[in-house]
C-alpha cells in the first residue's frame, strides 16, 4: 500500500487524519489512542490514513460514473455524488470496498468497479447502510470495525445524510465475522458536483461543499462532515470490551 497522505500543522506538529489524531482520547473506550499495554498499542487502528492508491481508485470509479448512461440521463440538479474507497487487511484477509454516501442519487453500479486497476477484480460495493437518525435513537446499535456493537454519544449532532466513510466502516465491521483486529485500514473520499447541480426537495449538493479538500474542477478530495467525523472514532475503536470500564 502506498504511503498515507496526511494533513499536518507546522506550528503544532499534530497530524490530523480522518476522525482525529493519535493524541486524542477515544470516546468509546476512554483511553488515549496512542496508549499502550504490555508494550503494545491498545488501538490497532488509532486513526484512518488516506493513500494515493485509494485516491486513484476514486478517480477511476468517478470517471466511470460520469460517462454512465444513468448519470448522463440524470436531471442536471441531481448531478452530484460523494464517493469513498476503503482498503483493509485482517486475519490474513484483504477487503476492498467502494461506496457512495446515502444522500442524493446512488449512481454507483457494480460494473463501475471494473475500471479499478489497483487490486483489480477484488473490489465490492459496501453492503451496509448506516442507521437512520430520524427516529431520535440513531445513536444506538452501531458496529465497530471489529463487528462489535457500540452505542454512540447521544449528544452527537444528527447528520442530514451519512458520508461514504460511515457506510464503508460499517460494512467492514459486518465482514469481520471473527472480530479480528485490523492489520491495516485506509480510507479516502471525494465529491463531484456538476455546475448545474442545485438543491432539490430531497437532495442538496450544497451539503457537500462545506467539507471538501483540494478542489479541481467539479470534483475534489473530501473529508467527512462534522457529525460523521464525530462518529468515526467509535467505529474504528478495537479495544476489547474487557479492558473498558
**pLDDT band with cut points at 50, 70 and 90 for residue 115:** very high
d(CA 109, CA 160): 23
What's the grid cell of residue 219?
470534483
Across-strand partners of 40?
37
- Is residue 188 pLDDT above 70, yes or no? yes
Across-strand partners of 18?
48
**pLDDT band with cut points at 50, 70 and 90 for residue 217:** low
**pLDDT band with cut points at 50, 70 and 90 for residue 13:** very low
- Is residue 17 pLDDT above 80, yes or no? no
- Is residue 9 pLDDT above 50, yes or no? no
d(CA 49, CA 34): 15
Please choose, from the candidates 51, 54, 92, 53, the residue with its C-alpha nearest in 3D space to the C-alpha of residue 176: 92
Q: CB under 8 Å to 58, separation ≥6 — which residues? A: 83, 84, 85, 188, 189, 190, 221
Would you say the pTM of this structure is higher than 0.85?
A: yes
- Is residue 2 pLDDT above 80, yes or no? no
Please choose, from the candidates 245, 242, 231, 171, the residue with its C-alpha nearest in 3D space to the C-alpha of residue 27: 231
- The string of pLDDT tens digits covering residues 128-165 is 988 766 556 677 889 999 999 998 888 888 877 788 99
**pLDDT band with cut points at 50, 70 and 90 for residue 186:** very high
- The string of pLDDT tens digits covering residues 36-93 is 888 788 888 888 888 999 999 999 999 999 999 999 998 888 888 889 999 999 999 9
Higher pLDDT, residue 5 or 232: 232
Percent of the chain residues past pLDDT 90, beyond the cut: 41
Greatest CA separation for the chain: 58
The mean of the pLDDT values for the chain is: 82
Q: What is the DSSP letter of 3?
A: P
Contact, 82 vs 190, CB < 8 A?
Answer: yes
Q: Which of the residue ranges 124-128, 184-188, 206-210 would you say has the lowest mean pLDDT?
A: 206-210
- The string of pLDDT tens digits covering residues 160-171 is 778 899 999 999
Instruction: Specify the pLDDT at position 104.
Output: 63
Amino acid at each position: 500500500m502506498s504511503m498515507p497522505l496526511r494533513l499536518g500543522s507546522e506550528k503544532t506538529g499534530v497530524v490530523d487524519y480522518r476522525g482525529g489524531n493519535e493524541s486524542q482520547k477515544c470516546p468509546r473506550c476512554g483511553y488515549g489512542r496512542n496508549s499502550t499495554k504490555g508494550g503494545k498499542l491498545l488501538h490497532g487502528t488509532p486513526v484512518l490514513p488516506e493513500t494515493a492508491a485509494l485516491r486513484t481508485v476514486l478517480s477511476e470509479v468517478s470517471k466511470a460514473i460520469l460517462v454512465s448512461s444513468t448519470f448522463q440521463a440524470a436531471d442536471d440538479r441531481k448531478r452530484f455524488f460523494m464517493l469513498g474507497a476503503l482498503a483493509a487487511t485482517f486475519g490474513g484477509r484483504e477487503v476492498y470496498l467502494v461506496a457512495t454516501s446515502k444522500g442524493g442519487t446512488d449512481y454507483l453500479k457494480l460494473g463501475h468497479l471494473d475500471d479499478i486497476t489497483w487490486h483489480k477484480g477484488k473490489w465490492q460495493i459496501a453492503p451496509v447502510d448506516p442507521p437512520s437518525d430520524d427516529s431520535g435513537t440513531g445513536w444506538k446499535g452501531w458496529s465497530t470495525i471489529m463487528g462489535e456493537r457500540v452505542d454512540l454519544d447521544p449528544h452527537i449532532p444528527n447528520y442530514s445524510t451519512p458520508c461514504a466513510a460511515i457506510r464503508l466502516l460499517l460494512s467492514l465491521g459486518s465482514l469481520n465475522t471473527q472480530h479480528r483486529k485490523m492489520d491495516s485500514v485506509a480510507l479516502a473520499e471525494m465529491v463531484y458536483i456538476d455546475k448545474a447541480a442545485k438543491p432539490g426537495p430531497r437532495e442538496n449538493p450544497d451539503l457537500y461543499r462545506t467539507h471538501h479538500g483540494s478542489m479541481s474542477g467539479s470534483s475534489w478530495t473530501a473529508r467527512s462532515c462534522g457529525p460523521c467525523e464525530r462518529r468515526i472514532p467509535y467505529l474504528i475503536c478495537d479495544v476489547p470490551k474487557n479492558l473498558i470500564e
